[in-house]
Amino acid sequence: MKLKAKLLDIQAGGRRIVILDDSTASLIGVHSSDRVKITHKNEELVAIVNIAGNFPHNYIGLYQEISSKLGLKDGEFVEVESAERPEALRYVQAKIHGERLRKKEIETIVKDVVERHLSDIEIASFITALYIHKLSMDEIEALSKAMVKTGSTLSLNKSPVLDKHSVGGVPGDKTSILIVPIIAATGLVIPKTSSRAITSPAGTADRVETLCPVNLTIEEIKEVVKKTNGCLVWGGALDLAPADDIFIQVEYPLAIDPLLLPSIMSKKKAIGATHVVLDIPTGRGAKIKTIGAANALAHDFIDLGKRLGIEVQCAVTFGEQPIGYAIGPALEAREALSAIMGKSPADLREKATILAGILLEMVNIKNGKQKAEYLLKSGRAERKLRDIIEAQGGNRKILPEDIEVGDKQAEIIAEKEGRVLWINNRNLAQIAREAGAPKDRGAGIILKVKLGKRVKKGDALFEIYAERTTKLNAAIKLAEKLQPIGLSKKLEERMLIDRIPKTIMHKKVFTLER
């Protein structure tokens, strides 16, 4: 059936969706969420149908994703016919019933996800089925390989290729900004592709973007790595394992994360990593709560790494308070730059050198931590970071004070005397986001205390930074409600941690980081 194209000057978030009115849809024989095949000249694609009651008859509404793909102009005619349901749906339904999926079936699902043949509802059903029925290691391996296969890859023609990744859950983790130049300063290759924040106040790409551009192409990355041995770039611009980005869009509103292993490891495989150290922060305020859970997850990562041809080692790290004192893109970049220049919070330096040391020892460099510490103290790591900043288009002479932070500030003070018994990572992350982070780069938090610190009534617990007064006021209000830092004169006095139900109800925060 020939229909006239009505171009909608908006995007559908990458989805391939068309709009038909009821009567036109009936003539084609489709309902809402069915598929149609659209043909224009030598191009064709399959799209999902939305029904609009007041849409013009004999027209098809096309979002920019489809009109640009087909090279259409407004008012041109296209051939539209009913399309078969994707084969992948059979396998999604099989997983809903608890069946194990074979390699070919998983490849079909991932291919149809990337080609946008599945609707959000169908992808959500698949994600939910994975969460309920779990994944075997064979399924995880097949998913990882399929996610690599359907995207771009980075081939540096070098070996070994090192990488570091954290499963997330602890705010202020700017260790990558130290680890990458430490490793690169030894002559080893470490092309670090990182995410932007999903639920945290800052992802590595958000932090680094205050120092230099991070939206590089694959060819630009190759040039930077050729010059410096390392890079710190945003992976989202590279089409690495694109199915993962689509899955994450669905996982976040569902607040479930059954694809943690294939999500992380597919991107490591896509950049050609041969040796990876995985940081698993563990504790009450982290994503992983217990040492037992951390050990189980570590063994799964190691097993999956073997299947993908990647040597993996895992570090189970202390995750009950933020790393360093700064939370938020610009504040963290300031702290990381100060750290590599020699003015480092002890926990940030310790964690960075431990993880870098593990990577060095994985490629047979003895006394890895001591080597990493030497590279920091000697200034070689700082010079390498500045090389990377310059190669990526930034100012190699940048100083911490050159990085702009929010000019709207407020102190949250202690209402009583005591020792810091606990710090709620999630609540601090919420407050930093309320202040505007990560969208407002200068927004965030500077902690004034850490665990065990003794404070007096009226002492500052943390400072909030914002770029707008309205955001600052909202963050102050949230901080007063959440009270993210627990104080007590004696340990035994803090027997009551929470009371349920309570007058003020807060939505439980779901942590999803890549």
Give the three-state DSSP class for 128: helix
Note if 257 is an active site residue. yes
The CA-atom distances, in angstroms, between 268 and each of 249, 288, 293, 311 are 20, 21, 22, 11
Count of other CB atoms within 10 angstroms of residue 97: 8
* Residue among 227, 162, 160, 170 nearest 193 (CA): 162
Alpha-carbon torsion, ordered 295, 297, 301, 307, to 10 deg? 100
Give one DSSP letter per residue of 308-355, joined into a string.
HT-EEEEEEEE-SS-SSSEESHHHHHHHHHHHHTT---HHHHHHHHHH
Can you give the C-alpha Rg of the chain in angstroms? 25
Contacts 24+ apart (CB under 8 A), 43-48: 43/69, 43/70, 43/71, 45/16, 45/69, 45/70, 46/16, 46/83, 46/86, 46/115, 46/117, 47/16, 47/17, 47/18, 47/116, 48/15, 48/16, 48/17, 48/18, 48/119
Query: Kind of pairing, strands 59-62 and 17-20?
Result: antiparallel
Give the three-state DSSP class for 58: coil
d(CA 327, CA 202): 7
* Residue among 279, 280, 268, 281 nearest 307 (CA): 268
d(CA 163, CA 166): 11
Sign of CA dihedral 389, 395, 398, 401: negative
Whose structure tokens read 């036109």? 24
Query: Kind of pairing, strands 59-62 and 2-7?
Result: parallel
Return the structure tokens found at 316: 């189970």
d(CA 92, CA 83): 18
Structural element, H or E, at residue 271: none
Active-site residue, from 21, 257, 347, 440: 257
Helical axes 176-185 vs 329-340, angle rounded to 10°: 40
Q: Which residues are catalytic?
A: 257
